[in-house]
Structure 1
Amino acid sequence: MTRSDMSDGELAETLARAAGALLLDLRTSSGMAGRELGDAGDAAANELLVTALRKARPNDGLLSEESKDTKDRLSQKRVWIIDPVDGTREYGEGRDDWAVHVGLSVDGKAAIGAVALPALEMTLSSERPDISPRRADTLRMVVSRSRPAKEAVAVSKKLDAELIPMGSAGAKAMAIVRGEADVYLHSGGQYEWDNCAPVAVAQAHGLHCSRIDGGPLAYNCRNPYLPDLLICHKQDAETILALVGSS
C-alpha cells in the first residue's frame, strides 16, 4: 500500500511515527544537543512530513509551524495541520515529554489526528481509539513545567486536584488519553498546530475538548493563534468550565 492509498487516519499515523523515528535517530547519532538539536530536528521532521503530505494529498491545504504560511489554505476544505516537534526544548534536552503532531482539519474542525510520543515508543491515533481513558478519584491536572497557567492553578485548588508538570502540549493531551492525568486546562497561548492533532485524538477517545469558555475549537483560520484549550473527561467538563468562569 502506498501512502496515497492510505486512509487519512492511516496516513497521519504512519507519518507521525516516521517523523518520530527520524527524530530519535537524529538525537542519538548527531552529537547535537539543546537548541542546535531542536532546530535540526524541527527542520528534518518538517521536510519529511511536508514532502510526504504534498505527494500523498496534493490537493489538500497545509499549515505547519515550521513552514511559511500562505493564505491559499483558507479556500480549502481539507487542511493538514502539523507540528514536526511539539516540545522542541524537551526534545533537545533528551526528555521524553515531546511529540509529533499530524492533524487534518475538515471544514474548520479537527477531524483526523495522530500524535507520536517517540521517546515512549507510542503513537496515538483518531483512527484507532483503542484506549479507554481512566479517571482517577482525585483529579490530576497537567500543567506547564515552567509557566503553569494561572487559571489552571486556580481551578486545581478548587478541585483539590494534583498538579503534574509536563512538557509539550501533545504530551499533556495524550496523558489524558493514556489515563495518566484527567484534566488539561491551558490558557497561556497556543497555535492551531499545537492542538489540532491532539484534539482529534482526544475526541476519538471520548474526551471533552473545547475552548476554556466552552466554545468550539476552530481550525484553518486566517490567524492560527488559538490561545486556550480544555481537554477532560466529559463528566467533569461542566464543573471545570464553571470554575474557569468564576476564577
Structure 2
Amino acid sequence: MPGTDLDLLSTAARAAGEIAMGYFCKNPAVNDKPDGAGPVTEADLAVNAMLEQFLAEARPDYGWLSEETEDGTDRLGTKRQFVIDPIDGTRGFIEGSKDWGHALAVVEDGRVIDAAVFMPVRDLLFTASAGKGAARNGAPIQPTQTPLEDATILGAKINLTPPFWKDGQVPPVKRTFRSSLAYRLCLVADGSFDGMLTFRPSWEWDIAAGALIATEAGAIVTDQANQVLRFNNPHPQVPGVLAAGPKLHKALAARLEPGLSKP
C-alpha cells in the first residue's frame, strides 16, 4: 500500500483511469440524477466503488465525501477527509471528449493538503502537496503572468456577461471552455490558460483537488467574493471559484460586482 497520502491518491487515480477507460466510448449505461443534478454512468459508479474500498482500507479513520456516495455527517467528526469526484466531466465522458478525469483530495481542518487529478485519455497526472509545489507528470508547473487585456479565461459564456461585473463592464478577455472543473484549475496551474472562473455554487468534489494544484503552482484561488476556499463544509459547496496568476486574479476580482446573482 502506498506510504504517503499523495502516493495513495496518485495510485488510486491511475487505477480509476483503468476502470473508466474500460467503459469509454462503449455506450455505458446512463441515468439522470434527481433534481436536475446531471447524468451518472455505470463507469462513475464502478470507479466510486473501487475508490471507496481502496482508500478506506488504506486510511480507515478518514472521512469520505464523494459525488457518487450519499453524504452524511460522519465526515464532520474526522480529522482528515477524502474528497472525491470519481469522474469529473461526466457529460464529456459520455460524449467521447478527452476532457474528463478523476479528482482526488485529502482535506484537513478545512484545507486541502494533498491532491491528484488524472486525465486518462491525455495521460496527464497533476499532483500537489501543501507547501511542496505542484507537478504535471512529475515536472513542476506554474501559472502565466499574462495581463488582463491579453488573457484567455476558462468558463461558461454566462460568466462573462454584464450582470456579474461592475458597471456592466465585462473584462476584455478571451473565453474558452472545458467540461471538467478540476481540469480547468489544472490548466491554470500549468499555464495552458491564464485563469478560470465559475459563478455557480461549486461542489467541493469538483474543485478541492484542482484548487490545491493551482495554489501550489503559484495561482491565487478564491471564491467569487475573493475569500479563501474552505472544505468539508456541512453543505459541501462553495460560492463559485476564481483562479489565476496573482496579477490577473487581482484585476478580475477588482472588477466583480459585489453580491453576485447566481446563473
Query: 1:68 deviation in Å?
Result: 1.2
Count of matched residue positions in the alignment of Structure 1 and Structure 2 = 240
Structural mapping, 1:41-52, within 5 Å? 41-52=43-54
- 1:22 — aligned with what? 19
Aligned partner of residue 96 in structure 2, secondary structure:
coil
- 1:133 — aligned with what? 143
Task: Give, in whole Å, the separation in 1 of the partners of 2:215 and 2:123.
Answer: 22
TM-score, normalization by structure 1: 0.89
- 2:97 — aligned with what? 95
Q: Aligned partner of 1:216: which letter? A: V
Q: Which moved more, 1:56-65 or 1:15-24?
A: 15-24
- Counterparts in 2 of 1:120 and 1:202: CA distance versus 1, 3 Å: same
Structural mapping, 1:79-228, within 5 Å? 79-127=81-129, 128-129=134-135, 130-136=140-146, 138-144=150-156, 148-150=158-160, 158-228=170-240
Q: Aligned partner of 2:142: which letter? A: S
Query: 1:34 deviation in Å?
Result: 7.4
Aligned partner of residue 24 in structure 2, secondary structure:
helix
- 1:241 — aligned with what? 253
Query: 1:123 deviation in Å?
Result: 0.9
Query: 1:15 deviation in Å?
Result: 1.0
Aligned counterpart in structure 1 of residue 7 of structure 2, from 6, 10, 18: 10
Aligned structure 1 segments of 4 or more residues deviating by more than 2 angstroms: 33-38, 132-137, 147-159
Task: Give, in whole Å, the separation in 1 of the partners of 2:187 and 2:151.
Answer: 13
TM-score, normalization by structure 2: 0.84
Q: Aligned partner of 2:14: which letter? A: R
Task: Give structure 2 stretches of 5+ with no counterpart.
Answer: 32-38
- Counterparts in 2 of 1:175 and 1:55: CA distance versus 1, 3 Å: same
Aligned partner of residue 126 in structure 1, secondary structure:
strand
Instruction: Give me the identity figure in percent.
Output: 25
**Are the aligned partners of 1:81 and 1:103 in contact in 2 as well (CA < 8 Å)?**
yes
Select the structure that is richer in helix: 1
